[in-house]
Chains A and B, each alone.
Chain A
Amino acid sequence: EAGVAQSPRYKIIEKRQSVAFWCNPISGHATLYWYQQILGQGPKLLIQFQNNGVVDDSQLPKDRFSAERLKGVDSTLKIQPAKLEDSAVYLCASSLVAGHEQFFGPGTRLTVL
């Protein structure tokens, strides 16, 4: 069974530029999550999708972050414009059912200069 795929693995941008991350979850997993992880800390949930609908985006900074999951499969997370404090690892995870074990992709390490 293929795992969660994410790209790119690394991205370096200047502040005020835009960036997009892509995630393809495990086939058949209805629930998809985007997390932000600061080095050495636990992951912080940004947004949760159930199929192609948003379940919770209360911690997503909507003035600069957006996410979509068209067709209920893969998803993109965008930051525009980026700030220095957005430097972090962005993790995508999926689960068959909300509340059960989540499976994570390798993450995208973003550096904002």
Chain B
Amino acid sequence: AQSVAQPEDQVNVAEGNPLTVKCTYSVSGNPYLFWYVQYPNRGLQFLLKYITGDNLVKGSYGFEAEFNKSQTSFHLKKPSALVSDSALYFCAVRDPNSNYQLIWGAGTKLIIKP
């Protein structure tokens, strides 16, 4: 069965430090992977995607994600965290067997402390 796992409910990082939010997936075929961010009382915002090509994908707000096929991971990263990055982050993978719907992770709350 297709699935997405975000193993950490919450990640705490000091401002200015690098951050990583983890995501692993299980899907048949080549994965289409996505990261979204949700600020309080807001809808989800698309950050970046991996479809094919370079394993390091760059997205909005200075975020990037590294696709690792052997580890079936798609971790979200940023070299220097900002307090304004504090939000809920969701990883998703396209399900090729279900009308290309997205399978969503449970979300990781990122807290950046000044």
Contact = CB atoms under 8 A, between A and B. Distances in A.
Interface of A: 4, 6, 33, 40-43, 45, 48, 55-56, 91, 93, 98-107, 109
Contact of A104 (B32, B44, B49, B99): B44
Nearest to B107: A42
Contacts, number: 55
Closest 7 CB pairs of A and B: A99-B100, A42-B104, A104-B43, A98-B100, A104-B44, A106-B43, A99-B94
Interface string B19-61: 0000000000000101010000111111001000000000000
30 contacts: A4-B43, A40-B88, A41-B106, A42-B90, A42-B105, A42-B106, A42-B107, A43-B90, A43-B104, A45-B101, A45-B102, A48-B101, A56-B98, A56-B99, A56-B101, A91-B44, A93-B44, A98-B99, A98-B101, A99-B32, A99-B101, A100-B49, A101-B49, A102-B46, A103-B46, A104-B44, A104-B46, A106-B42, A106-B43, A107-B42
Nearest to A50: B99
A93 B109 CA distance: 22
B107 A41 contact: yes
Interface of A is mostly: loop
Contacts of A99: 32, 94, 96, 100-101
Contacts of A41: 106-107
Contact of A102 (B41, B102, B105, B109): B102
Given A91-B43, A99-B100, 7 more contacts: A33-B101, A43-B44, A43-B104, A48-B101, A103-B46, A104-B46, A106-B43
A93 B42 CA distance: 13
Contacts of A91: 43-44
Given A42-B106, A101-B34, A48 B44 contact: no
Contact of A48 (B88, B99, B106): B99
Nearest to A91: B43
A56 B32 CA distance: 20
Contacts of A55: 99
B28 to A, nearest CB: 14
